[in-house]
Amino acid sequence: MFETEMTQSRNSSIKIPDGDSMVINRMLRFLYSGNLDLFRGNVVQTTNVMELYAAADKYDIPALKKKCTFYLKSNLYVQNLCQVLELADAHSDGDLSNIVFEFINAHAEEVFSTDEWKEIKKNNVWAKLLEKAIFRKNP
């Protein structure tokens, strides 16, 4: 086994078939430099950060995941809340979920009136329960 060369050692590249090249590039830059470049042009797009978060979780890069979580927390809005909540749920991230729930509690009426929330509520009993609990607590 040790005498046999692995394919990757003979090639100058490793293929990551399910990764977006820009996300992988940013992830590798972070690993080499410790710096996180979230800008695409002059704009940071939350969807890019969410993709980077997912890659950090998949490849077990806690420092990158923490930076992405900090960005998402600092840039949480009614418009992107449901996407961030789905991301937290998909990656079983209790800390990120708690951040989202705190935001929902503070902006309940706005959040619960969005089409995205109504769509989540159709398929998730917990969303219905959360809405009822918040409205009972804050009549």
pLDDT, tens only, 93-116: 999 999 999 999 999 999 999 999
- Which amino acid appears at position 77 of this protein? Y
User: 87 near 50, Cβ under 8 Å?
Assistant: yes
pLDDT in tens, 44-66: 677 889 999 999 999 999 999 99
CB 23 within 8 A of CB 52: yes
pLDDT at 76 over 60: yes
Place of tokens 């902006």: 107
| Lookup: tokens for 1 | 């086994």
Distance of CA 7 to the CA centre of its chain: 32
Alpha helices in 3-139 (DSSP H): 7-10, 21-33, 46-58, 62-74, 81-90, 94-106, 108-112, 115-123, 125-137
Domains of the chain by start residue, with CATH = 19-75 (no CATH), 77-138 (1.25.40.420)
Q: What is the pLDDT, as a whole number, of residue 6?
A: 54
> Per residue in 25-40, pLDDT tens?
888 889 999 888 776 5
pLDDT at 1: 43
Task: Tell me the two tokens of residue 14.
Answer: 């490793």
pTM recorded for the entire structure: 0.78
